[in-house]
Amino acid sequence: MDKDIDAARWARVQAHDKTADGEFFYAVRTTGVFCRPSCPARTAKRANVIFYETAAGAEAAGYRPCRRCHPLAMEGRDPHGSLMQAMASFIVAHADERLSLERLAQEAGMSPFHFQRSFKAVIGVSPKDYQAAERLRRFKDRLRAGDTVLGATFEAGYGSTSRIYERVGDNLGMTPSAYRAGGAGERIVHAARETALGPLMMAATERGICFVQFGTCADALARQLAQEFPRAQLEPAAAGGSAELDAWMVALGDHLAGVAPRPDLPLDLRGTAFQISVWRLLMSVREGEVVSYSELAAGVGAPRAVRAAASACAANRVAVLIPCHRALRADGGLGGYRWGLERKRALLDAERAHRVAA
Ligand SMILES: [Zn+2]
């Protein structure tokens, strides 16, 4: 029986079978080293090989982990996480390239499945998220250094060969299907107040703010909210009591009155992956600066989708906090604004003045 198992294991070792990684380990008497089944090193002689169920078993028998295939990383207990640290550095060095999981796994000498698992165990996030974060960091650095969005976009590797929106799609808590269902089963708390730019309604799910809009009056805004989330359970904050929403409203109101910076509040974004990537990009544009719709399109890796980028701005449901008012036409024209060009102009003027004063 054991012989049969060992024979099957030996066949997988000879085949460098990646799917066997994690199932067992093999040690080589002559070298004193133990490996994962897929180790790319030349296969030892069968007579010198002993199998172990766990890396701990091989270690207990006095074998050292192979430096080539890092069998301890398999169990997520590579003491220094050295291979995964090295892979993290590799991702940083190649952040502007398209790095598939397969390519990274190959680089690490592991199966995609185990690489993904080990990387996450050691680094804390998936390789894809790690690369996205690195790109975003560079992108923001470029913007801070005074680059235009377009320039920063290409410098950060968000060019036509890569797509920031891939990252956004599977990172966010939002689910497009839940949105399509009109917020079914969700509780949305809302409140309205008068601001420097007119009546404003803010509404939030448990995850964050999903609606900030200007309107003619609180009733019209409540109807608008009901239209956008027809199947959600809508509750006035005053009735249910939501200290959080009240505080958020005050913070935003102060900002609109020009006495406080734009508050950093939790958002629950609902939209397509493309829309959300455009909104995220808008949020990285500094106060007092503007971007063109074509820069936005290029910024999300879809330089031809200028009209779609403009539509994404128009579809923004979270005014001011997602600063779609900072998006202009390429010729500097104001373009459109869902809540009226007067408000757009007022917001931009206030931000410019604020920046000059700062
Ligand atoms: Zn090895």
Indicate which CATH number applies to the domain containing 70. 3.40.10.10
Q: Which of 35, 210, 217, 313 is catalytic?
A: 35
Measured in angstroms, how far is the CA atom of residue 108 from the centroid of ligand 1?
12
Burial 129-142 (b: 16+ CB within 10 A, else e): bbbbebbbebbeeb
Q: Are residues 64 and 178 in the same domain?
A: no
- Domain presence at residue 228: yes
Centroid of ligand 1 to alpha carbon of 29 (angstroms): 13
Question: Of 75, 101, 121, which marks where a domain is finished?
Answer: 75
CATH number, domain with residue 223: 1.10.10.10
237-245 long-range contacts (CB < 8 A, ≥24 apart) are: 237/189, 237/190, 237/191, 238/191, 240/189, 242/189, 242/191, 242/204, 244/204, 245/189, 245/190, 245/191, 245/202, 245/203, 245/204
- Which among 75, 100, 121 is the end of a domain? 75
What is the residue type of 63?
Y
Most distant CA pair in the chain, distance? 84
Cβ(122)–Cβ(84) below 8 Å: yes
Provide the pLDDT for residue 170.
Answer: 33
CB atoms within 10 A of CB 84: 22
Distance 119 CA to ligand 1 centre (A): 18
Residue 142's pLDDT is what? Answer: 62
Q: Residue 33 Cα, ligand 1 centroid: separation in angstroms?
A: 8
CA distance linking residue 203 with residue 218, whole number of Å: 12
Domain interval for residue 357 = 165-358
What letters, b where the CB count within 10 A reaches 16 and e where it falls short, cover 5-32?
ebeebbebbeebebebbbebbbbbeeee
209 plus 346 within the same structural domain: yes
The label of the residue with tokens 């031809």 reads 304
Distance CA 350, CA 357 (A): 10
Q: Ligand 1 centroid to 104 CA: how many Å?
A: 18
Shared-domain flag, residues 30 and 171: no
Q: Which of 184, 187, 185, 191 is nearest to 242 (CA)?
A: 191
- The answer to whether the CB of 36 falls within 8 A of the CB of 23 is no
Phi–psi pair at 202, nearest 5 degrees: -120, 140
Q: Which residues surround ligand 1, an ion (CB under 5 A)?
A: 35, 39, 41, 66, 68-69
Please give the distance, rounded to the nearest whole angstrom, from the Cα atom of residue 11 to the centre of ligand 1.
Answer: 16
Check residue 329 and give its pLDDT: 81
The number of domains in the chain is 2
Coil vs helix vs strand at 96: coil
Do 69 and 170 lie in one domain? The reply is no
Check residue 124 and give left, alpha or beta (phi > 0: left; psi -120 to 50: alpha).
left
**177 and 323 within one domain:** yes
Q: Is 66 annotated as a binding residue?
A: yes
The per-residue pLDDT for 10 is 95
pLDDT of residue 167: 34
Q: Are 272 and 280 in contact (CB under 8 A)?
A: no
Q: Which two tokens stand for residue 332?
A: 């500097």
User: Do 342 and 202 belong together in one domain?
Assistant: yes
- What separation in angstroms does the CA of 241 have from each of 112, 141, 208, 310, 325? 48, 41, 16, 37, 31
Contact at 8 Å (CB) between 285 and 320? no
What is the per-residue pLDDT for 100? Answer: 92
Dihedrals φ, ψ of 219, to 5°? -65, -45
SS3 189: strand
Query: What SS3 state is found at 191?
Result: strand
Same domain, 33 and 172: no
pLDDT score of 77: 57
**Domain termination residue (choose one: 75, 90, 118):** 75
d(CA 332, CA 27): 68
pLDDT for 224 = 92
pLDDT at 229: 86
**pTM here?**
0.52
pLDDT of amino acid 162: 32
Q: Return the CA Rg of the chain.
A: 27
Closest CA relative to residue 311, chosen from 334, 332, 327, 287:
327
User: What pLDDT sits at residue 325?
Assistant: 92
Query: Does the annotation count 217 as an active-site position?
Result: no
Cα separation of 137 and 210, whole Å? 26
Q: b/e string for 269-288 if b means 16 or more Cβ within 10 A?
A: bbbbbbbbbbbbbbbbbeee
Are 67 and 172 found together in one domain?
Answer: no
Per-residue pLDDT of the chain (358 residues; tens, 9 = 90+): 577 889 999 999 999 988 888 888 999 999 999 999 999 888 789 999 999 888 878 887 888 888 888 888 766 555 556 778 788 889 988 887 889 999 999 988 888 988 888 888 777 778 888 887 777 767 666 655 555 544 545 555 544 323 333 333 333 333 444 444 566 678 899 999 999 899 999 999 887 888 999 999 999 999 999 988 888 889 988 755 677 888 888 889 888 888 777 788 888 877 777 888 888 888 887 777 788 888 888 888 787 888 889 999 998 999 999 999 989 887 777 888 889 888 998 888 888 777 666 5
